[in-house]
Amino acid sequence: MIIAIDGPAGAGKSTVAQKLAKRLSYRYLDTGAMYRALTLRALREHVSLDDAERLAELARGMTVRMEYRPRARPPFRVLMDGQDVTSEIRSREVSAHVSQVSSHPGVRREMVRKQREMAAGGDLVAEGRDVGTVVFPRADLKFYITAAVGERARRRHREMRKEGYRVSLKTVQQEMVKRDHMDTTREVNPLRRAPDAVVIDTTRLSISQVVNELLRIARDRMEPRTL
């Protein structure tokens, strides 16, 4: 069974997807982390973010995998070419450029190929911005996780302060609005809700409330398969 979770930045996709995967004992795939890893690598190697051909080449030669480490925080770690880059790919610099990197058609083609390969061989919870529309259009269950932009900005602002970034809430919200625009208007695989996705607005919900609702819906969908 494949469960696809899409939605804009700061809506809580990653948190609830990880918790849902753990509760169901499914594997977890963060497609956005793959684009972040590529962005980090491009920045490290001083590759122009407008060089679509070179970025696609970097994507082809890069290995990214998700590893579950129960004692780590967060427990789902992102490894790029064997190196743990979980924290680095969430930096403000990577966040500011990942939409630009992910907008190139060649990059997205290569990433989708890798994501489908990673999904082979077992039950999976996958999250990102085109999981239910492009990567796994025939997913057994699709969710679209969203929240008001002000609430999403507040959540991201809290995260950044915890990580030591000194930035105003206004700046975070401006950057989020800009990223929303880039993600929804890009020519290739824009962020949009799949017609058959269950929409969950997390603005006034706790993480546990969202996870429990997703779990209830998932188990209802799974039940007929076990009869």
| Model pLDDT, residue 196 | 96
| Model pLDDT, residue 227 | 40
| Model pLDDT, residue 116 | 94
10-residue stretch averages of pLDDT, the chain, 227 residues long: 94 93 94 96 97 97 92 90 95 91 95 92 91 96 97 92 89 92 87 95 95 95 63
CB neighbourhood size of 79 (10 A): 16
| Cα–Cα dist 8/192, whole Å | 9
CB 174 within 8 A of CB 153: no
Residue type, 37: A
pTM higher than 0.85: yes
| Model pLDDT, residue 51 | 97
Task: Tokens for 214, please give them.
Answer: 């997703």
Q: CA angle, 124 as apex, 145 and 87 as ends, to 5°?
A: 65
CB 131 within 8 A of CB 139: yes
| Cα–Cα dist 72/86, whole Å | 11
Residue type, 35: Y
Architecture of domain 2-211: 3-Layer(aba) Sandwich (3.40)
H helix intervals, the chain:
13-24, 31-44, 52-61, 92-102, 105-118, 149-162, 169-185, 207-226
